[in-house]
Every structure is written in C-alpha cells, then in structure tokens.
Amino acid sequence: MRINFRLIFILFGIILILKTTEAQQKSRVNIEHADALRYNDKLGKDVQRLIGKVVIRQDSTLFYCDSAYINEANNSFEAFSNVHIKVNDTVDVYGSRLLYDGNSKIAELFDNVKLVDKNTILTTDHLIYNRNTKTALYDIGGKIVNKDNILISKQGLYFTPTRTFHFRKDVVLTNPDQETYSDTLIYNTNTETAYFLGPTVIRGKESIIYCEDGWYDTKNDLSKLNKRPSITNANQTITADSLHYDNNTMFGKAMGHVRIIDTLHKVILTGKKGELWDKKGMSYVTDSAVAITYDDKDSLFIHSDTMWLNFDKDRKAKMMRAYYGVRFYRKMLQGKCDSLSYNMADSIIRLYGEPVLWSQKNQLTSDSIAIAISGNRVDSLMMYNSAFIVSRDSTNTYNQIRGKNMVAYFTKNELSSINVSGNSQTIYYVREEDGYLIGVDIAESSSMKIRIKNSEIQTISYQSSVNEDMFPESELKDEDTRLKGFSWQSILRPKSKYDIFLRDTISQQENISELKQ
C-alpha cells in the first residue's frame, strides 16, 4: 500500500490550525509586488493573475515567481516559473511550479525542485514542504548533497530544525571513501552522521560491511554496527553482535559472538570479545576463544584464554598465537600446553610450556614441540630437550621412548616413524601375537630409529653402539620400568572438541590414582 504523504502533511496542518485559539487572527497570504495584476472571471471570481517579478508574503516567509494565480478568499495561490520560497535565513526552496495553501501552510513544488539549507542541497521533481512542522517530503526520488556526501533515495523526509533526513527505499550514500546501500537511513547534516535502521551494505575500497542497525559518523570516520554486523575483505570476514571501528586510528572492537574467518588459510577464530589494530597488523579474540583450522576431511579445534592473529598490510594472516591454558582436539591428534604459535608461512605449529601431544595410543612430551603441517595434515613433529613418548602396554605397564631430541613422521595423520638423537633410551614390553609377555626390553644408545604401524612399535634400529638387555618382568622393580621424566597424563587428554574448554583442575592425587590403576 502506497502511503499518501501529502494527505499526512495536510492532516498535520489541520491539527495545528485547530489548536490555535479563536482570538488568534488567521495568517493571510498577501501580495507584496507584481509588475501587473489582471482579472479574468474564467479563472474564477476570486482568482487574480499576477505577472512579472511576483512577491507574495505570509508571515515572515516570502514567495517569488514569474507569475501566479492567487485566490485571496481561499488564502492560496499557484505560482509558475522561477519559483523561490525564502523560508528563513538558511532555508530556500526552488522549483518550476508551486501549489500553496495558506491555511495549512503546505507548499507542493514540481519539476526541478531544489531545497538549500546551509551546506545541504536537496534536488527532486516533487516536494511537499510543511511550514508548520518545518518538514520537506519527496516521494518519487531525490538527491542530497552535503559536503563530500551524496545521498540518493526514492523517498525522503527532511526536518529542517534538526537538519535531519529520513530516507526510505533504495538509499545510496556515497563519499570519497565508500558507498552505502540501505533500506532505511537517517542522516543528520549537522553532525554528518548516518543511522542505519534496516539491511545496509557499505562498500569500501578494501572491504564490505553489512549490518541491520548502527551508525556511521562520516565527519570523524567512526562507525558502530549492531544487529548481524560483518566486515569482509578479500581473505577475511569478521562478525559479532556489535562492531565499533575508528578509521582514523584504524582500531576496531567487537563484542559478543565474535567470529573471524580467514578463507585463505582456512582458519576460524571465535570468542566473545575482540579488538583489531589495522596499522599494527594485529587482532585478538578472548573469552571462550577458539581457533579452528579446517579442511574437507577434518578440523583442528584449539582453545586458550586469548587468541592473537597477526597480518600484513594486505590483511593476509601471517601468525596466530594462543596464550594460557591451550588445549586442542583433532580426531587423530590432541594436545595441551601453556602457549602455542602457528606460522602461516612455513605451516608450523609450535607448542611451549609443558606441551603434551596424544596420537592414538601414544603420548608425546618435551620442553617444546613443533608440528609441521602439509596439506592441512600433520607431516612431522620435532621435540626438543627431554623428549618422551609413552604408550600403555597393559593396565599398569608402559612402553617408553626417551631422548634429548626426537623427530616423528606421520603418514595420513598416523605416527609412522621416529628418529631419536642424544641419550636415547627405550623400555619395550615384547609380546607374542596372542599377547603373551616374552620379556621387557631395555636399551640405551646415542641414537635410534623406530618404525610404528597401527600405533605399535614394529622395529627399533640403533644408529650407534647399543646397550640392550631383555628381562623377565618379575625381575624388575617398579622404578626399573619407568624412565626418568615419566608422566602418564591421559586424564588430561581431550576426548572431543568440547573437552578443549576443560581446564587443568585435576589434582595431583587424581593423577597418581590413575597411575596405580
């Protein structure tokens, strides 16, 4: 249904007139000047024709035109050619033809209409101006120019006292930096601020912004976006409950359900709060922060207190860092550590602060661990200083590999071989195919190579002299079956992607209890 704005303005005018007291004299339309005044009864008995430099006054408002038909009995007139309404010191309205009702104080202008108010110019082919409410309406398309900002819409309503425009349907706001497309928009020409009240798209030189509620201060280059806001560039999309951005300092803040998607490196960061420094090339997400690296087959879920993302001038991600209480889960690989970094250039994930990895039956620990990713799969990992691999043999027996440094290789995300260098030691429970224990093999060498299949040790090759013995289990004490630094931490292992949010609240006693099982 099409709204009859003209009727609305007339009703406003009637209401205001009815509110005036009877003691108040009606404001009359008066002829100030005309080069010629003519009468023709064919035009109507109360109609006079004014020709040449016509000036008509009502209250403090002046009307100029080349000619006019005035009906003083009805307190109205029709003006033609070079129409100009001098509303006040700042507002002027121009057009080719004018219908004016002096009782309702409503002016309707046609063809080449222009409203000028200080630094703002409105152009349209049909405008209704209400002197009572000091509002101007167009309903067949209009254009507003305010300094560097150009606004176009099918419908618009201008409040001259506050210098505020209300736009509807196919709204386009253009300035040197970007273009804005909206369904409903309010623009204040004093503050040069646009308010979005419906689906809105802002196209910048390097990004596209979407929201359904918010504002943009074009003078100070500030924006606040609410209701499904998002910012998208060539490689990233940022969404949140609300986004605030300062183009001057290139600083942004995101609150509630924050989500950063990097399609180039297939990384997703989520949390409840985030901040962005474009000049420094860095951003962070915190409060339930999660990073997800994904492919068609599997995804890696990483949780920590805070996730940082560094990027270059083209906003391409370079480095991701996770700090404090890191836990991660993938079907074939799980882990925990204090902090983590992921370098996009060399595709290496580095774990710091008592890192632990679990790959099927194997637990891997070291002072620090580096994981090499190829094709979004684990290719290999390096363990530095006090490297240790443990797998449970039975209820309370464990196969163990210890060395200064280790390099582990993976095939299709499964551990396939391990190179151990520096003070290599192993404790291995040798069994028959039916599970019968043959003995416990204990060996030492400076280096060794271990081949693994289906999480079971297949062969151990010593690269230098070896000190090796096989013992019956009954001859060994408990301390003989534990290499230095042994620690079985399966109670801390994430069993699903939801377990990454569980903090290390397990007491030492609980850990010891599991060791005794």
Check residue 59 and give its pLDDT.
92
Show me where the domains of the chain are located. Answer: 355-486
Residue-level pLDDT at 513? 40
Q: For the residues 350-354, what does the mean pLDDT come to?
A: 93
Per-residue pLDDT, 427: 93
The pTM score is: 0.73
What's residue 90's pLDDT?
87
**Residue of 40, 162, 148 lying closest to 91 (CA atoms):** 162
* pLDDT given for residue 132 in this prediction: 92
Q: For the residues of 77-131, what is the DSSP string, one character each?
A: EEEEEEEEEE-SSSEEEEEEEEEEETTTTEEEEEEEEEEEETTEEEEEEEEEEET
- pLDDT reported for residue 509: 38
Residues 6 or more apart in contact with residue 475 via CB below 8 angstroms: none
pLDDT for 352 beyond 70: yes
For the segment 433-440, the average pLDDT, to the nearest whole number, is 89
Share of the chain above pLDDT 70, in %: 92
Q: Which pLDDT value is given to residue 503?
A: 65
Q: The tokens of 97 are what?
A: 């033809």
Residue 3: what pLDDT? 43
Interatomic CA distance for residues 235 and 383, integer angstroms? 33
Answer CATH for 355-486 from 2.40.10.120, 3.40.50.10420, 2.60.450.10, 1.25.40.10: 2.60.450.10
Q: Report the pLDDT averaged over residues 482-507.
A: 83
> What confidence tens digit (pLDDT) does each residue in 12-42 have?
444 444 444 333 347 899 999 999 988 877 7
Measured in whole angstroms, the distance separating CA 439 from the mean position of its chain's CA atoms is 60
pLDDT for position 235: 78
Query: Average pLDDT for residues 306-315, to the nearest whole number?
Result: 84
Looking at the predicted structure, is the pLDDT value of residue 506 above 60?
Answer: no
- Calculate mean pLDDT across residues 222-231: 88
Quote the percentage of the chain above a pLDDT of 90: 49
